[in-house]
Every structure is written in structure tokens, then in C-alpha cells.
Structure 1
Amino acid sequence: MATMRRSIAAVIAGTLLTAATACAQTGGGGNGGAADGNYPNKPIELIVGFNAGGSTDTGARLMAKALEKKLDATITVVNKPAANSQVAYTYLSRAKPDGYTMAAVTFPSAIITVLDESRGANYERDSFVPAALQVVDPTAVAVSPDSDYEKPKDLVNAAKKNPGTIQATTTGVASNEHFALAQLEEETGAKISPVHFADGATDATAAFLGGNADVLLGNVSDMQQLVDSGKAKVIGVMESERSPFLPEVPTFTESGYDVEMSSSRGYAFPAGTPDEVVDKVSTAMGQIIKEPEFQQKMKDAGLAPKYMNADEYASYWDETSAQFESLLPLVKEEK
């Protein structure tokens, strides 16, 4: 763990130097032209804490292209993948709060990097000003097509009868899937053993398809292709409402279990960004997300559109933080 902390710290240190240099080049401090009524009047940098081509990056690039037209602006997407987006969030927290640097924000990464003190994050929740939510992607539970499990109750009963013998994939310790298992255990008493794949969903899926895990946990958007190809059977979605991507699959809520877990993707500015800038971007994003053509592009990319304005997103962020904080002791016990 100490080695991991040193590694993360080294990466972030380099990023902070870059951010400091950028601030120096732009004059540092103040709001530039952000609050003078002419915003935006120069290029906007949109930071993404994951590699190009992933679902977060895809959604951000769709939004950037549409937002350019809506705001008559130039928006450059910059990928800073490292440390579960901690590098990207650190960069954002140190950026000039003039409206010209924003970042894609994903849960649980933005929350866990703050709650887990071992990560040594030098930012906190109040370091960011939420702008808008774009995507809510519920966690889905899949098994092999020939499995006897057909619905959430089948899995829960089997896990309670043989605690710890069923293995389920996660994309790492304190990942969304890890929290989902902790919440399921807290709600039902069913003990399912996590198998962590810190390099992401691709490795987790490969292990599941190779028979090295009994259950695959992942975003609904990542399950569609597996279902269509007959390689997996989704037996439940951890949400209060059924997913439009898998409308025939029951939710855990309707199955009698108060279990809801989703990953989400939105946008934020550094603290201190003028309210009028945040509101302008938030309103523009809302208009974009509600456009049928944009919604179709998102659905084609496997992304479930869900708009929240700045205030709604801020409340959602705080509520989700409280949820993860309550589950964190259970997750730490599983390390």
C-alpha cells in the first residue's frame, strides 16, 4: 500500500507542476473574461481522467462537440488517465477558476479518492463546483447463459446458503462493483466473494467468460453486447426502475431488495468559478441532453442520458458521498 501511495503521489506531483505552469502562462488568479458577459471568448479545456475510447471519454467527446456549437466555442478534450482519475481531479482543483477548465466527473472515483485517506488526495468535495450530470449507468448482475440463476432472488438465496463460495468480478477495490457487493450483503446477508480486476472491465469480463468468476458485475451499458451475443444472462439491475437497455430484466428493488448502485458521469469546474459561467454551461448541457438526436447518439454509444442541473447534481453528489461513506468500512474489510 505504501508503494502504491508513493506511485500515485509521484504521478500527481508531475501533474501539479504542469497545472502550475499553465496557470503562470495564463496570468494566474482572477476570472479572466469569464464573468464579463462574453464567456466563452477563448478555448475551453475538458479533462477526462480515463483513456480515449472508453465510455466516459466517448460521452465527454459527444458533449464537447455539441457544446461547441451551443456556446460557439472551441473545446479541447484532454485525457489524463491515472490513479482512478485522481490525477485529473487534482489538475482540475488547481486550475484557474475562470470557466476555461472543466472535467468529466465519475462516481465513485471522485468520491472514493476523497474518502479513502490512504490515497492522499489534496482536494476535497468543496474543491469542485458541479455543473451538470449527463449519464447514470446502473450496475447490472450477469451470469452464464446456462446458469440456474434467473432472477436476483436466486442469486441471493444461493449466496446465503453457501456464503463466500460464489465469486463476482469487480473493477478493483473500492470500485463501484465492490460497493455494490457490500450493499447487497448489508441488505440481504448474502456473502459473495469479490474478485478484483484493477485494470478495468475488459479484464473482468475476460475472466468471467473464461469461467474464472461465477458472476459478472458491470454497467448496464457494458452488458448489452454480451447479452446480444448470448455470452451472458443478466438477472438483475441495481436500480429502482428498469433499464431501457434491458427492459425485460427485473430490478433488485422490485425483487424486494433495497439495493441501488450506479456509476454516473457529469461535469464540474474548480471551486471559485463564477456562478453565471456554471449556470450557462449547465443550461446549455441540459438543452443538449434533451435533444432527441443527441439522446440517440448517446444510446447508440450505450450511454443512458440523465440530466441534472448544477444544484440537482450538487445534491446528488452529496447524497452519493454519504452512501459510499456508510459502506466504506464494509469495503475496507474486504481488502
Structure 2
Amino acid sequence: MTRSNRRTFVRHTVVLAGAAALAHAGLATAQSYPTRPVTIVVPHAPGGAVDSVARIFAEKLKDELKQSVIVENRAGASGMIGAQHVARSEADGYTLYVNASIHSINPLLYKKSIKFDAVKDFTAVSMLTQGALIFSVPPSVGATSVSDLVAKFKASPNRYSFATSGFGSAGHLGAAQFLYENDLGQIPIVLYKGAAPALQDLVGGQVQAMMDPMLSSLPFVKAGKLKALAVTGAQRSPLLPDVPTLRESGMKDFELYSWYGLWAPANVPPAIVKQLDEASSRIMAQPDMKSKLETFGFESAYKNSANFAKFIDAETARYKVVIEKANITVD
């Protein structure tokens, strides 16, 4: 062996040894994970659908990990403040992130101002659950069906408006899709900072329609303060068996869910991702977990890490079409 070849061999040996040491260190970290409390960041205020899913999940995750799991709310900027915090966190599995479909919608709307990459800066760990929305109106509108509401909107468009609990939320995109598919682009969509103030004005008649998760809207429907015209899922909800889907109401291609997932920062060791994903699978399969989620209008929709990533890509492409057709712009 020549001196040059010996030097090359030594260099390769050192590199390979270094890689092996790093791999061993990563394996050791994964095997001991977690050794301290894990934080789940929720990028929205307490009390909403995302927060509720995160807290139900966290209670189960602490049993799986045999470690404390803390839910931390970092609300603001349509969820982007909390997302940015997670994107910049250590990739060690101790900072996790639960959000809804808005995580994949924001990059399509805030193209210039968003400060992270919703795909590259995160690891898609597991999809957890999904829920159809309730399409409701206050009784004062006098609509008894979706077609009845469309007729009223077309007859007097200046009298009506749609509410949404958050810009870029599933409810916002659902409202936009409903309006453009029915040639009702002149009906304004009013932005609220959360479901509570939007529902308050909807019940009061200041706005006349809304698509919103069952968790927040169903109590008002059950109390007779809102009239449910339809649900946005592919099938009727067992919580509202007499309420038709939008497909049954004449919009044959309309299907919309708000879905909820678990992410971590990019580059979390694969062994930790696998551990979290397997824990998610067991949690979402538990009968009491399914039962509790069903009372809030959610259904089992677990997907493993690889399938969740593919699902996100497909949903993002679908949202892009809706946003372009409805001409929704921010920057």
C-alpha cells in the first residue's frame, strides 16, 4: 500500500468510525428516551378543537412514555407562532407539536411572511383523528335546508355573511368552497379570532352561516340556538343522524374534514419517531380513546409516519385548488 493510499484508508476509517459513534450515540439516546418531561406545543388558544385533541392525547401519551407530558399553548398568527417555535426547537423528541389541517394551509396563504417550511422543518409523526364540520345557521335565517339557504343568499346577498373562526382554517376553506361552487362569491366571509366569538355572533344573528367543528358547535345545535343544515363529511354523523351531508344536499363532490396530527422538529432520530408513532397507534386504538373522541365529533383516522406524510402532500394539493378557485389571498 502506498503512502497516499494509506492516508486515504486512514481518513475513511476515521470517517466511518465517527459515523458509527454518532449512530451509536443516537441509538443510545433513543433507547433511553424519554428521561425528562415531554412538551406538546399547541399553536392555538386553550379550549378549542386542537387544544382538546392535544390534551386527550397527552393524557394517554404520558402512560405510554412513562413520563410527564405537558401541553403548552403558543397561540397567534393563525398557529404560525407555535409552529415556528417547534421548527426551531431541538430535534430530540422533547418538543412535539399537535395541530390541525391549518398547518398545511398556512404555507399556501402566507407565502411571503411565513418563517418556516411546513414540510422540511418538521417530522410528520402520526395522524391522530379527524372530524367533519357542522354547517349551521341561526334559526332567524329561516333556512331549513342547504338549497333553501342558497336561494336566500342569491335573492338578497347583501343581507348575509359567513363566519369563520380562523383565517385559513378548514371552516374558512369550506365556506369559500361552498360559496364559489354556488356562485355566491359576493357573500363576505367574516374573520373571527376563535370559535367562541364567531359562534356568539352567529347565535345572535350578526352573521348568518358557519362551518365549524362539532366540538364547539354541537352544544348550540342541541340547545336549539343553531340549526344544523348539513355536515361536511362523507357520511352522516352518529351525533346528528337526521342531518344530511353536503353531498346529500346536492354538492356531490363536497367532502371536508378538519384533521389533527402529531409532528416533531425535523431530524428527530428515527428510533424516537418510531417510538412515538407506535405509541400513537396504540393510543388511537384504545376503545375509551375512540369513545371520548366520538363524543366530540371526531373519528379514528390514525396514519403512521410515512402515510401521514403522503396524506399531507395530497391534502395540500387539494387545498391549493380551493384557494386558487376562491381567490383567497394574504400576501
Q: Select which of 125, 128, 139 maps to 1:145.
A: 139
Mapped partners of 2:158, 2:329: distance in 1: 14
Q: Is residue 191 of structure 2 the alignment partner of residue 197 of structure 1?
A: yes
Partner of 1:85: 79
Residue number in structure 2 paired with 1:47: 41
Q: Which secondary structure state, in structure 1, belongs to the residue aligned with residue 301 of structure 2?
A: strand
Question: SS of the counterpart of 2:72?
Answer: strand
Structure-1 separation of matches of 2:28 and 2:208: 52
Structure 2 partner of 1:332:
328
Per the alignment, residue 292 of structure 1 pairs with 287
Following superposition, the deviation at residue 235 of structure 1 comes to: 0.6
Question: Does structure 1 residue 272 correspond to structure 2 residue 272?
Answer: no
Which amino acid is 1:299 matched to?
E
**Aligned counterpart, 1:208:** 202
Q: What is residue 236 of structure 1 aligned with on the other side? A: 230
Q: Give the equivalent residue in structure 2 for 1:316.
A: 311
Partner of 2:242 in structure 1? Answer: 248
Q: State which of 52, 56, 60 in structure 1 corresponds to 2:54.
A: 60
Q: Is the 8 A contact 1:114 1:124 kept in 2?
A: no
User: Does structure 1 residue 222 correspond to structure 2 residue 216?
Assistant: yes
**1:284, distance to aligned residue in structure 2 (A):** 1.2
Q: Distance in 2 between matches of 1:222 and 1:305?
A: 19
Superposed displacement of residue 137, structure 1: 2.2
C-alpha separation in 2, matches of 1:106 and 1:150: 30
TM-align CA RMSD: 2.6
What are structure 1's unaligned runs of at least 5 residues? 1-29
Shift of 1:49: 1.0
Could you tell me how far 1:32 is from its partner in structure 2? 6.0
Give 1:87's aligned amino acid. I
Amino acid at match of 2:273: V
Displacement, 1:300?
4.0
Structure 1's 31 and 133: CA in aligned 2 closer, same or farther, altered over 3 A? farther
Say whether the 8 Å CA contact 2:131–2:257 is kept in structure 1: yes
Question: In the alignment, residue 324 of structure 1 is paired with which amino acid?
Answer: Y
Partner secondary structure for residue 45 of structure 2: coil
- Bigger Rg, structure 1 or 2: 2
Structure 2 counterpart SS, 1:126: coil
Alpha-carbon distance between aligned partners in 1 of 2:26 and 2:158, rounded to the nearest angstrom? 57
Report if aligned partners of 1:131, 1:267 keep a CA contact under 8 Å in 2: yes
Q: Distance in 2 between matches of 1:34 and 1:206?
A: 52
Query: C-alpha displacement at 1:113, in angstroms?
Result: 4.2
Query: CA contact under 8 A between 1:33 and 1:98: conserved in structure 2?
Result: no
Counterpart contact for 1:170–1:217, Cα < 8 Å = yes
Identical counterparts, % of pairs: 26
Residues 301 and 235 from structure 1, CA distance in 2 versus in 1: closer, same or farther, beyond 3 angstroms? closer
Distance (whole Å) between structure 2 residues aligned to residue 146 and residue 212 of structure 1: 10
Point out where structure 2 has 5 or more consecutive residues left out of the alignment: 1-23
- Check whether the contact 1:163–1:191 (CA below 8 A) recurs between aligned residues: no
Distance, in Å, in 2 between the alignment partners of 1:243 and 1:31 is 49
How far off its partner does 1:212 sit?
Answer: 0.9
**Alignment check: 8 A CA contact 2:161 2:190 kept:** no
